[in-house]
Chain A
């Protein structure tokens, strides 16, 4: 080897350069935010039982056979408030269809705060509490709003992070209805 020091320097430069490329490609983005779809898509919906604000009990079992959109929301998050008109429109469109269910699950909020908000906003679809955040955890939620589409057969077929438009909600519903 004629110039060992130069070869060593070159080796170090290659290693440092590679590290810089790896870091530049990994650090610039939030790896969690980079994922656009839930890992749950394609899997069976987690088993759950929830109690709605008006005293109903709904479960993954009782909702079987219906196309269900599960929407994680709360009363204080601005994106949830931005999403509300779309949810209202979607709920109104499918109000007479017993095979479609829109279910709101409270995330990181209290019933005491959410109930008056829901009444003031005239929310018509069932809203349920998730007091120990167990359901939020089972769905692998990262924030709110998040919406999951569940097929009549109990398969999670789609997800939407952030405020969904009516078009997004219709797409999720179509995905749910197209699966057995």
Chain B
């Protein structure tokens, strides 16, 4: 492998790993009780609604949950503890984001597996194409083209 190719592939690898790390890294910069409560409100499903988060709903339940989240974050409960309180009351379905265990794991793992398989497939295809002999035009081919172009 030439030095240039190593650099290109290395750069690409760094870009991909960096992007994945950036996407997977917890984005929560929430540090104050109010911002933590707001962040948690986006993760919880409004119990009265079909597909709205507690943060997006104006229902009485959503309002009560927002107030409860704020009270709990102010009391020093961790995000995990608060999530667990709601899971205990409503079940896993209260979480808008699937958990990363049990069946929920499949939702996270399958796209990664699909991407990995696609990457392997592409790599194999590129390798195969590289091994194939390059076709050069013969004199007969050139003559054929000349005749066709001359009309």
Contact = CB atoms under 8 A, between A and B. Distances in A.
Contacts of B12: none
Interface of A: 1, 4-5, 8-9, 11-12, 15-16, 18-19, 22, 26, 30-32, 34-35, 39-40, 107-108, 132-134, 136-138, 140-143
Interface string B103-132: 100110011011001101100110010000
Interface stretch (B1-9, B44-52, B140-148): B44-52
Closest 9 CB pairs of A and B: A8-B121, A140-B89, A133-B64, A31-B93, A4-B124, A11-B117, A15-B114, A108-B60, A142-B47
Given A22-B103, A136-B61, A12 B48 contact: no
A8 B124 contact: yes
A137 B88 CA distance: 12
Nearest to A25: B103
A142 B45 CA distance: 11
Nearest to A107: B60
B37 interface: no
Contacts of A107: 60
Interface of B: 45, 47-48, 50, 59-61, 63-65, 67-68, 88-94, 103, 106-107, 110-111, 113-114, 117-118, 120-121, 124-125, 128
Contacts of B61: 108, 133, 136-137, 141
B107 A4 contact: no
Contacts of B120: 8, 11
Contacts of B93: 31-32, 34-35
Nearest to B62: A133
Contact of B63 (A19, A133, A138): A133
Given A133-B61, A142-B47, A39 B121 contact: no
5 contacts: A15-B114, A15-B117, A30-B50, A35-B93, A133-B63
B138 to A, nearest CB: 29
Nearest to B120: A8
Contacts of B47: 32, 140-143
Contacts of A137: 61, 64-65, 68, 89
Given A32-B90, A39-B91, A108-B60, A8 B117 contact: yes
Contacts of A133: 60-61, 63-64
Contact of B64 (A19, A34, A132): A132
Contacts of A26: 103
B113 A142 contact: no
A171 to B, nearest CB: 23
